[in-house]
């Protein structure tokens, strides 16, 4: 590259030369300047010529690396200004992975896949309202969901959309009456009735059909874990993806079974 000036510790280069050296286009550097992300070392106001210094290589290299990590230009700008951390981006990426995993399961539902398959799901840290109770029948859980939602509306509790409810069963065996359960409702703001659930990993499967056939899904998942040498911890969790209210027939119900793993 042709040296233009030597009055600085580092020589200065025209925008085209600098762009070619760092593997970007002139238009990209001009756009970065326009949004205040990366400015030239010097700009001649009379000619409009822009000059860049080798001392700026560290910054532009960092911008390129962060862009490759899927950070937006605004996020990169905030990061360089110290207003955005990599931990924040990591949480965003983890949530995106979780949403994609959920989307895959939704596709399976619409395709009406009836055979069981196991999949790993990581749920990021989240805030939940919890409610422990004993229900005479499993269907009563859905009525409790509705009761909680009405309470949230009255108390102006902010919930995640679409709303996320799930139920943990504290019984040693599968049964459909007199269940000891804990209901979790994901909310966006913490208060005295909420707690933080840390990031957790689950082995899951989808059950299509009547709740009374759920033992088949549990049997599949337990056998899968045994063969794959996967250790499960804590009590099982169920999410009712399609149930009473959204489906007329129990044969169309869709339930996700989740077993926490290390």
77 is a domain residue: yes
Domain count, the chain: 2
1 is a domain residue: no
What pLDDT is stored for residue 188 in this prediction? 87
Average pLDDT over residues 82-90: 72
Edge-to-edge strand ranges of the sheet holding 12-14: 12-14, 50-53, 42-43
157, 189 contact by CB (below 8 A): yes
185, 128 contact by CB (below 8 A): yes
151 is a domain residue: yes
User: Are 31 and 67 contained in the same domain?
Assistant: yes
User: Are 52 and 156 contained in the same domain?
Assistant: no
Higher pLDDT: 250 or 205? It is 205
End position of a domain, from candidates 37, 56, 84: 84
What percentage of residues in the chain have a pLDDT greater than 70? 84
Q: 4 pLDDT exceeds 50?
A: no
User: Are 67 and 27 contained in the same domain?
Assistant: yes
Chain centroid to Cα 257, Å, comes to 19
End position of a domain, from candidates 84, 111, 145: 84
6 is a domain residue: no
What pLDDT is stored for residue 101 in this prediction? 65
Kindly report, residue by residue over 22-58, the tens digit of the pLDDT: 888 999 999 999 999 999 999 998 899 999 987 788 7
Average pLDDT over residues 142-161: 80
What pLDDT is stored for residue 94 in this prediction? 67
5 is a domain residue: no
For residue 38, the enclosing domain spans 12-84
DSSP notation for 53-111: EGGGHHHHHHHHHHHHTT--HHHHHHHHTTS--HHHHHHHHHHHHHHHHHHHHHHHHHT
Task: Write the burial class of residue 85 (CB in 10 Å: 0-12 exposed, 13-18 middle, 19+ buried).
Answer: exposed
CATH code of the domain covering residue 178: 3.20.80.10
User: Are 191 and 242 contained in the same domain?
Assistant: yes
Mean pLDDT of the chain: 83
Secondary structure element (H or E) that encloses residue 233, with its range: strand 232-242
End position of a domain, from candidates 31, 64, 84: 84
What pLDDT is stored for residue 246 in this prediction? 67
User: Are 74 and 110 contained in the same domain?
Assistant: no
What pLDDT is stored for residue 221 in this prediction? 93
* Highest mean pLDDT: which range of 88-92, 135-139, 167-171, 244-248: 167-171
Cα separation, 70 vs 72, in Å, equals 6
What pLDDT is stored for residue 134 in this prediction? 94
User: Are 117 and 233 contained in the same domain?
Assistant: yes
Kindly report, residue by residue over 171-211, the tens digit of the pLDDT: 888 888 899 999 999 998 887 689 999 999 999 998 988 88
> Which pLDDT band, with edges at 50, 70 and 90, does 139 fall under?
confident
């Amino acid at each position: 590259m042709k040296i233009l000036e030597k009055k600085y510790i580092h020589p200065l280069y025209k925008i085209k030369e600098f762009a070619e050296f760092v593997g970007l286009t002139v238009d990209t550097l001009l756009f970065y300047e326009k949004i205040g992300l990366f400015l030239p070392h010097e700009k001649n106001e009379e000619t409009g010529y822009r000059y860049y210094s080798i001392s700026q290589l560290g910054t532009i290299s960092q911008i390129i690396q962060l862009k490759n990590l899927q950070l937006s230009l605004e996020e990169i700008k905030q990061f360089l200004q110290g207003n955005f951390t990599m931990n924040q981006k990591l949480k965003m990426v983890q949530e995106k992975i979780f949403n994609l995993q959920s989307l895959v399961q939704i596709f399976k539902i619409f395709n009406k896949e009836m055979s069981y398959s196991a999949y790993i799901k990581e749920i990021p840290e989240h805030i939940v309202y919890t409610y422990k109770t004993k229900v005479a029948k499993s269907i009563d859980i859905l009525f409790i969901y509705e009761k909680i939602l009405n309470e949230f509306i009255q108390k102006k509790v902010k919930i995640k959309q679409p709303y996320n409810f799930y139920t943990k069963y504290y019984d040693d065996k599968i049964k459909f009456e007199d269940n000891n359960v804990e209901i979790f409702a994901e909310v966006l703001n913490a208060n005295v009735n909420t707690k933080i659930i840390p990031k957790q990993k689950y082995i899951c499967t989808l059950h299509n059909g009547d709740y009374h056939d759920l033992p088949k899904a549990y049997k599949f998942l337990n056998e899968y874990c045994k063969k794959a040498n996967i250790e499960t911890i804590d009590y099982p969790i169920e999410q009712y993806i399609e149930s009473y209210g959204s489906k007329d027939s129990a044969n169309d119900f869709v339930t996700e079974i989740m077993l926490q793993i290390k």
